[in-house]
Chain A
């Protein structure tokens, strides 16, 4: 049981390049999330998904796109990277439980630098 995994762990991009970050979970969780973490700002939600085939915008969605084609995978795309997207990206997942706000399980993070 690997939990939540993220690929890649590190990446350096040039401005304008594109890339996709992959998140995978093997816990059969319904909900998945993408956050970015910047110094002094905590975690900010980029996009999230409440089930296969669904996505929704979070707090800071601009410049990112996501897809949830399979329940276990949640992809985060940067179409044209900008230096402001230099950050550490975390994926998380949680289970669906009626009446509860659900504990989120986090991946190890992807450190992205945009030059």
Chain B
């Protein structure tokens, strides 16, 4: 069965520091992978997605993610975090030609000045 694991429930970083949020997936076929961000009291906004091709994907707000098939991972990175990046981040996996996504449990990011 498909599943997504985000091992880190809560991460705290200082503003200007680099960030990596982990995401591991379990899926038998080629996955379609997504990262969403949820600011407090808001809905989810797509940061980036991977369908095929280049395994390093660029997204909005300076985020990037790298698909590593051998590690079943799709980690989200940002070289320098801003206070406005404080939010909850969700990784999600889907499959070719299907209509559902499986979401991870989320990682809450706190940014200190």
Contact surface of A with B, Cβ cutoff 8 Å: 4, 31, 33, 40-45, 48, 50, 58, 90, 92, 94, 98-109
Contacts and interface: CB of A to CB of B under 8 A. Distances in A.
Contact of B99 (A94, A99, A109): A94
B13 interface: no
A108 B43 contact: yes
Given A42-B103, A90-B44, A101-B32, 4 more contacts: A43-B90, A50-B99, A105-B46, A107-B43
Given A100-B97, A101-B95, A102-B99, A42 B104 contact: yes
A45 B100 contact: yes
B67 to A, nearest CB: 14
Interface in B22-47: 32, 34, 36, 41-46
Cβ-closest 4 pairs across A and B: A101-B94, A106-B43, A101-B32, A42-B105
A42 to B, nearest CB: 4
B101 A104 contact: yes
B43 A40 contact: no
Nearest to A92: B44
B109 to A, nearest CB: 15
B34 A106 contact: no
A103 B46 contact: yes
A43 to B, nearest CB: 4
Contact of A108 (B9, B42, B98, B101): B42
Contacts of A99: 96-97
A103 B99 contact: no
Given A41-B105, A42-B106, A101 B43 contact: no
